[in-house]
Structure 1
Amino acid sequence: MLVRSILASYSRLLAGISLALLAIALAGCNEIAAEKVVPSRPVLVATVHYEAESPERSFVGTIKPRVETDMGFRVPGKVARRLVEVGQTVDVGQPLATLDEVDLKLQAEQAEAEFRAATGVLAQAAAAEQRAKDLRAKGWTTDAQLDQSRAAADEARARLNRAERSVELTNNSLSYATLVADTRGVVTATLIDAGQVVASGQTAVRVARFAEKEAVVAIPETLVGRAKDGVASVTLWSEPDRKYAAKLREIAPAADPATRTYLAKFSLPDAGENVSLGMTATLTLADPLTERVARLPLSALFSEGGDPSLYTVDAQGEVALKPVVVKSYESNDVVISGGVDEGAKVVVLGVQKLDPAQKVRVVSSLSF
């Protein structure tokens, strides 16, 4: 019994020692595993965006017609009717306004009467001239009487010619009593009303032609050169996603004394019916010769005796060091012209302590 008791105690002791050694071994493995698991490093990244080195400049302008005509009556008179209103579209030959035709018809009738009288006088003078010629051929009259008959006939012919022209002029004046549109366009102003007496050539209706439209903007003096040589495009506030090609047609020779800007007119050859007069437009001027660059913080640049580089981060959190072409250095930024792709994400803080073999975790993203 004693022996059995000693053996049982010894067995329990060995079991305790084994359990203790197993616990110590497991603790050591956990410590080793804990040492091998390295947490990912949080980093701040920026998205690379290339743009023109000379940034585009935008100006607010207005859509206006290239040709806006002030139309008026070619004869004076009293306005009988105005047939159009502001904003109305007119076609070629459409009446715009009319004058009272009473006096013009009387003038036409007077010219017709003068024409008939001149016709009768010419017939009488021509007959007298023919008789004088016949009598002179027989020797029954003198040369003086023949010359007198010829002069009277010539005067009658001139009077008839004058009467014909007077008839044409009065008929034209009568037709001028109706003001008609000579082009397709839209009425932008009406400056007369019925009952008003107008002078010849006085502006009655203003019509903007549909033939060509343009954007009118004010350009500062520092960008006059770009307005002449750069690439221009126009977007409408009503259609912000569509661009219209624009070409400089005219620029003021002198600056406005108040704003010190130059009034520029850009033609829009592709503008359709959807581009209405008076719409607000945005004119964008770009320099065609400028290089495309990207701006990043100086803290993103990595250089330890070699070429300037950037750490890029992919979707799996792996980083890679890529050399870049530095265009210039600014006070807070570095300007690069190549080396990384558009839209790439680069680390912008702590690049000097970054381990390329270590995975990172993006905690924030910036756009430049």
Structure 2
Amino acid sequence: MLVRLIFSSYSRLLAGISLAALAVTLGGCDSAVADKPAETRPVLVATAHYEAQSPERSFVGTIRPRIESDMGFRVPGKVAKRLVEVGQTVEVGQSLATLDEVDLKLQAEQAEAEQRAATGVLAQAGAAEQRAKDLRGKGWATDAQLDTAKAAADEARARLNRAERSVELTNNSLSYATLVADTHGVVTATMIEPGQVVAAGQAAIRVARLGEKEAVVAVPETLLNRAKSGVATVTLWSEAGKTYAAKLREVAPSADPATRTYLAKFSLPDAGDDVSLGMTATLTLSDSRTERVARLPLSALYSQGGDPSVYVVDDKGAISLKPVTVKSYDSNSVVISGGVDEGAKIVTLGVQKLDPSQKVRVVSSLSF
């Protein structure tokens, strides 16, 4: 009986100890759960990037001079010398080529001799006219004789005038035997060689003026209106980081029959000496009237009976719900025209499960 009593007391003591230990353990677990901070939710974000609703279009073109002239001799003759080569820069008044001057000098000497003869004839005719006037005043000559003397003097004056003009023309022709540059430019082509006989006005040397350059491109007919009213810029392949403003100067009135494109010339007022002729350029056309929009995944929109909104994540992981202006919807994207800033990080998945009071952690980002 005593043994049974001792065993019962011992069992109750063990049960009490076990309950106490269990209570202590449960209390420690509750404290650990209470002290553990809330976990941040990982999210996938997209960066908002605004661009023109009508995309820019680019075309490959060539840098050309605005004015390129074929220069030629104003008199015929045989080429004696060609003084320039292709690619050489020339100045105003610089000699480009010369003709053989032998025949031109002979013509000039002949005109001078004709002038001297006309001068002598005029002196004789003028003296005869004066004598006829004197005799007629004394009554020793008739009116017919006076008229004949005056006519001979007038003819002699006209002959001298023709001779003087002939001398000027032959001197000019002699000066035309030297082809000179009339502008600052660069030689782009030579079509003559020494010994070649050329006609008056025949193209001899092509000179491109360096004053103004332009980009020449072929524009399809679908973008012809944008070329006329849009904003054009030009970049060079040799200097891709620099942009030049361009302005449409001329567009072909009809399309090329083979390519069905229109040849357009855009002037480059800011192009300096570093822009060389023949360089490859890229002309970009943009529509100045189009609205700037951003494209986002359709899953980024959050709406529960109100205006469409998106969750924006800041650098500290805090999120905020911001309403956006929806421009249009696509099959898997939405186009917005405002509501968020350029470069904002927008949550793209699971927006229905987010709470503005919780913190998030960006695990990946994508451009859309």
- TM-score, normalised by the number of residues in structure 1: 0.91
Q: Could you say if the C-alpha distance between residues 346 and 75 of structure 1 is closer, same or farther in structure 2, counting changes exceeding 3 Å?
A: same
Offset from partner CA, 1:248-271 (integer Å, 9 cap, x none)? 111111111111111111111121
Q: Which residue of 2 aligns with 1:306?
A: 306
Offset from partner CA, 1:22-80 (integer Å, 9 cap, x none)? 57634663476358555433221100011111122222111111111110000000001
What secondary structure sits across from 2:74 in the alignment?
Answer: coil
Q: Which residue of 1 aligns with 2:221?
A: 221
> Pairwise mapping of residues 82-97 of structure 1 onto structure 2 (< 5 A)?
82-97=82-97
Partners of 1:17 and 1:90 in 2: CA distance: 114
Tell which deviates more after alignment, 55-64 or 100-109.
Answer: 55-64
Q: Confirm whether residue 346 of structure 1 aligns to residue 313 of structure 2.
A: no
Matched letter for residue 342 of structure 1 = E
Offset from partner CA, 1:289-321 (integer Å, 9 cap, x none)? 211110001111111212111111222222222
Partners of 2:234 and 2:114 in 1: CA distance: 62
Matched letter for residue 300 of structure 1 = A
Partners of 2:18 and 2:101 in 1: CA distance: 128
Q: Which residue of 2 aligns with 1:174?
A: 174
Offset from partner CA, 1:109-136 (integer Å, 9 cap, x none)? 0101111111111111111111222222
Q: Confirm whether residue 323 of structure 1 aligns to residue 323 of structure 2.
A: yes
Partners of 2:153 and 2:283 in 1: CA distance: 72
Matched letter for residue 118 of structure 1 = A
Matched letter for residue 243 of structure 1 = T
Partners of 1:171 and 1:54 in 2: CA distance: 64
Partners of 1:93 and 1:29 in 2: CA distance: 103
Partners of 2:29 and 2:62 in 1: CA distance: 74
Partners of 1:321 and 1:164 in 2: CA distance: 96
Partners of 2:220 and 2:32 in 1: CA distance: 68
Q: Confirm whether residue 246 of structure 1 aligns to residue 246 of structure 2.
A: yes
Aligned sequence identity (%):
78
Q: Which residue of 2 aligns with 1:131?
A: 131
Matched letter for residue 262 of structure 2 = Y
Offset from partner CA, 1:75-98 (integer Å, 9 cap, x none)? 000001111111111111010000
Q: Which residue of 2 aligns with 1:152?
A: 152
What secondary structure sits across from 2:86 in the alignment?
Answer: coil
Q: Could you say if the C-alpha distance between residues 23 and 205 of structure 1 is closer, same or farther in structure 2, counting changes exceeding 3 Å?
A: farther
Q: CA deviation at 1:155?
A: 1.2
Q: Which residue of 2 aligns with 1:3?
A: none
Q: Which residue of 2 aligns with 1:274?
A: 274
Partners of 2:33 and 2:143 in 1: CA distance: 146
- TM-score, normalised by the number of residues in structure 2: 0.91
Q: Which residue of 2 aligns with 1:107?
A: 107
Q: CA deviation at 1:141?
A: 2.6
Q: Which residue of 1 aligns with 2:3?
A: none
Q: CA deviation at 1:335?
A: 0.7
What secondary structure sits across from 1:331 in the alignment?
Answer: coil
What secondary structure sits across from 2:299 in the alignment?
Answer: helix
Matched letter for residue 251 of structure 2 = I
> Pairwise mapping of residues 65-76 of structure 1 onto structure 2 (< 5 A)?
65-76=65-76
What secondary structure sits across from 1:194 in the alignment?
Answer: coil
Matched letter for residue 214 of structure 1 = E
Tell which deviates more after alignment, 206-215 or 29-38.
Answer: 29-38
Offset from partner CA, 1:314-334 (integer Å, 9 cap, x none)? 222222221111111112210
Q: Which residue of 2 aligns with 1:29?
A: 28
Q: Which residue of 2 aligns with 1:260?
A: 260
Q: Could you say if the C-alpha distance between residues 179 and 20 of structure 1 is closer, same or farther in structure 2, counting changes exceeding 3 Å?
A: farther
Q: Which residue of 1 aligns with 2:185?
A: 185
Q: Which residue of 1 aligns with 2:141?
A: 141
What secondary structure sits across from 2:256 in the alignment?
Answer: coil
Matched letter for residue 175 of structure 2 = S
What secondary structure sits across from 2:204 in the alignment?
Answer: strand
Partners of 1:251 and 1:228 in 2: CA distance: 9
Partners of 2:90 and 2:186 in 1: CA distance: 6
Q: Which residue of 2 aligns with 1:199?
A: 199
What secondary structure sits across from 1:189 in the alignment?
Answer: strand
Q: Could you say if the C-alpha distance between residues 306 and 29 of structure 1 is closer, same or farther in structure 2, counting changes exceeding 3 Å?
A: farther
Partners of 2:350 and 2:211 in 1: CA distance: 61
Offset from partner CA, 1:223-269 (integer Å, 9 cap, x none)? 11111111222222222222222111111111111111111111111
**What is the Cα-based RMSD across aligned positions, in Å?**
2.2
Q: Could you say if the C-alpha distance between residues 110 and 84 of structure 1 is closer, same or farther in structure 2, counting changes exceeding 3 Å?
A: same
Q: Which residue of 2 aligns with 1:57?
A: 57
What secondary structure sits across from 1:362 in the alignment?
Answer: strand
Matched letter for residue 41 of structure 1 = R
What secondary structure sits across from 1:171 in the alignment?
Answer: helix
Give the gaps of 5 or more residues in structure 1.
Answer: 1-5
What secondary structure sits across from 1:62 in the alignment?
Answer: strand
What secondary structure sits across from 1:203 in the alignment?
Answer: coil
Matched letter for residue 176 of structure 1 = Y
Matched letter for residue 280 of structure 1 = T
